[in-house]
């Protein structure tokens, strides 16, 4: 049964630096005010009414949880102790910075019942980290992940391709370094320019150029593919739409799209189909694709983009997309004129750096 997350946003709380790209209030839609014991209990009870018998997970998003004074951390976590003992709350997760984690803080989190820690890595390139005002070096990321894993905590990593000084090649290197640490999951947020940030000033004066949407899609499809090959789940790609984020003028520039993940998934489907077609198009120019039910919209593409591309690039008309519940999300079968071909994203797609070298 899927776990229901009870979110508490503590935007900027505990953060010792103001990174050039950051305005968590606009990104999360929260002022970041710390919840009191009554607030925590009330929100959990509210979510319990709609969660049924599903397990609840309490999550403190935004800010740098372990940078808060320990007494404040205890104030936030203590009300959860009896709820975890009773089974009302099944898990707790927090987000923090790499340089705010050591063996002592990791042991404290474990003692207080925290199960998952999301680490805002953003990049493993020290120049990119410095230009972005992160205030730590990549070696501290490695140390933080080691301390958390040593306590048996699940570790997630957040990456932000497209920061100042970054490049597609550096982003792929950062991903490789993070995957080497064997995280339990990833979030990938292509950098967008938010109003009121230092990054907006850099953009306005011409010192920073954001990725295009097409460039971000080309890069992130490779990043997602590498994660699939490494069996590391990517639980989010692109910023979560909020009313504040979507207010006119808040997003100044950059590769924001409300359905960014689907753009990436559709690209993977198209590349798999293109490889299966190769240079020999179906004799009658028509094909039917069978896929996992969850993949139908990805095969078709947003606004039927993949349907159009198959026709424009290969002269292939996609007659129908049929669900096959026995197929995995990584598989597609193309049937044309009695001929059937099955492909798998994990085995039949290969990306080299030339895909993004001109971005």
Number of domains in the chain: 2
Does a structural domain hold residue 83? yes
pLDDT of residue 27: 54
Percent of the chain with pLDDT over 90: 73
Task: Evaluate if residue 141 carries a pLDDT over 50.
Answer: yes
- Residues 226, 269 within the same domain: no
pLDDT in tens, 86-107: 988 999 999 999 999 999 999 9
Domain shared by 342 and 237, yes or no: no
Q: Are strands 154-159 and 91-96 parallel, antiparallel or unpaired?
A: unpaired
Same-domain pairing of 244 and 315: no
For residue 189, what are the CA distances in angstroms to 53, 84, 224, 286, 324? 32, 31, 12, 37, 32
pTM above 0.75, yes or no: yes
> What is the overall mean pLDDT for the chain?
90
How many CB atoms neighbour CB 259 within 10 A? 13
Residue at a domain's end among 200, 232, 258? 258
pLDDT digits (tens, 9 = 90+) for 157-211: 999 999 999 999 999 999 999 999 999 999 999 999 999 999 999 999 999 999 9
- Asked if the structure places residue 359 within a domain, the reply is no
Q: So what's the pLDDT on residue 359?
A: 46
- Domain extent, residue 335, equals 264-354
Is residue 136 scored above 70 in pLDDT?
Answer: yes
Residue 148, pLDDT > 90, answer yes
Q: Would you say residue 193 lies in a domain? A: yes
Q: pLDDT digit string (tens) for 38-80?
A: 888 889 988 888 877 778 999 998 888 999 999 999 999 999 9
Q: Give the pLDDT mean for 312-326.
A: 95
User: Do 60 and 152 fall within a single domain?
Assistant: yes
Both 13 and 69 in a single domain? yes
User: pLDDT tens digits, residue range 255-302?
Assistant: 999 999 999 999 999 999 999 987 566 667 899 999 999 999 999 999
Helix-strand-coil percent breakdown of the chain, rounded to 5?
A: 45, 20, 40
Residues 329 and 243 in one domain: no
Where residue 97 sits, what CATH number does that domain have? 3.20.20.70
């Amino acid at each position: 049964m899927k776990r229901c997350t009870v979110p508490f946003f503590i935007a900027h709380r505990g953060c010792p630096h103001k990174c050039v790209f950051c305005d968590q209030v606009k990104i999360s839609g929260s002022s970041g005010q710390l919840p009191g014991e009554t607030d925590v209990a009330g929100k959990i009870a509210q979510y319990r009414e709609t969660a049924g018998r599903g397990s609840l997970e309490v999550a403190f998003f935004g800010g740098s949880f372990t940078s808060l004074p320990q007494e404040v951390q205890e104030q936030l976590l203590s009300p959860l102790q009896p709820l975890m003992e009773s089974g009302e709350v099944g898990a707790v997760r927090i987000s923090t910075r790499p340089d705010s984690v050591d063996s002592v803080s990791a042991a404290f989190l474990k003692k207080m019942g925290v199960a998952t820690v999301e680490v805002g890595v953003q990049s493993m390139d020290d120049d990119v980290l410095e230009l972005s005002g992160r205030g730590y070096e990549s070696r501290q990321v490695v140390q933080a992940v080691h301390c958390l894993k040593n306590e048996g905590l699940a570790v997630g990593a957040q990456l932000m391709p497209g920061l100042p000084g970054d490049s597609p090649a550096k982003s792929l290197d950062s991903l490789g370094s993070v995957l080497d640490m064997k995280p339990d999951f990833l979030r990938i947020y292509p950098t967008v320019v938010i109003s009121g940030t230092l990054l907006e000033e850099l953009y306005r004066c011409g010192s920073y150029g954001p990725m295009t949407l097409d460039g971000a899609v080309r890069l992130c499809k490779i990043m997602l593919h590498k994660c699939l090959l490494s069996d590391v789940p990517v639980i989010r790609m692109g910023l979560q739409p909020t009313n504040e984020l979507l207010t006119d003028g808040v997003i100044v520039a950059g590769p924001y799209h409300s359905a960014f993940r689907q753009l990436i998934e559709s690209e993977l489907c198209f590349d798999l189909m293109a490889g299966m077609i190769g240079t020999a198009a179906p004799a009658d120019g028509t094909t039917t694709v069978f896929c996992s039910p969850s993949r139908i919209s990805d095969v078709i593409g947003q606004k039927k983009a993949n349907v159009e591309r198959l026709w424009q690039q290969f002269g292939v008309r996609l007659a129908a997309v049929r669900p096959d519940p026995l197929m995995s999300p990584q598989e597609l079968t193309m049937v044309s004129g009695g001929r059937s071909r099955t492909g798998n994203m994990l085995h039949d797609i290969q990306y080299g750096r030339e895909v993004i070298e001109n971005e």
